Structure 1
Amino acid sequence: MGGLGTPELLIILAVIILLFGAAKLPELARGSGRALRIFKAETKGLMDDDDEKPVVGSAATTPAEKTQAQLELETRQRDLAARQAELDAEAEKLRRDNPA
């Protein structure tokens, strides 16, 4: 671990306990764990996005495939817009029925 031995690690741990207090250590560890999980998920997502993008000029980027992807995207957008309209109508109905 970079030339850190047991005595050095114990000194670092003692300094951390003195700075944050023993009661704050579990909360600090939890927060650090969450931050690392989020960071890992985001970097994995970025790598997945890079893997999914076709290389320009390759055989996978024919105009027909671009058109198919655009059609799928437009269909999903229409479905989402319809669902949003349904939810807005339901919310408006609830507001009218329950004027608080």
Structure 2
Amino acid sequence: MRIAIVHDQLQEFGGAERVLVALKNIFANADVFTSFYSPDKLGYHSYHFKNWGIQTSWADKIPLLKKFYSPLRFITPLIWKGFNFDKYDVVISSSGS
């Protein structure tokens, strides 16, 4: 069974990211997707995600979008349209909001 875990963004480590770590521990073979990933902002906790092979969105490659994500949340649907989850049997969504 192919499983994808989708998390809105990985730019800080809090309760939602702890849930993400727990999900990944349960579904160890799942692929992880996120709109933005900033390991440098995760500090000590970045080790959790080091070997996950996290797949990021096209927007993650645009520094200005990454920096000002919060006021630009209205483009979130466009960001997620860039992913294709057709090959997955299960998609688990996790969010910090």
Normalized per residue, the structure richer in strand is 2
Normalized per residue, the structure richer in helix is 1
Report the TM range for the smaller structure's normalisation. Answer: under 0.3
- From the CA coordinates, give the structure whose radius of gyration is larger: 1
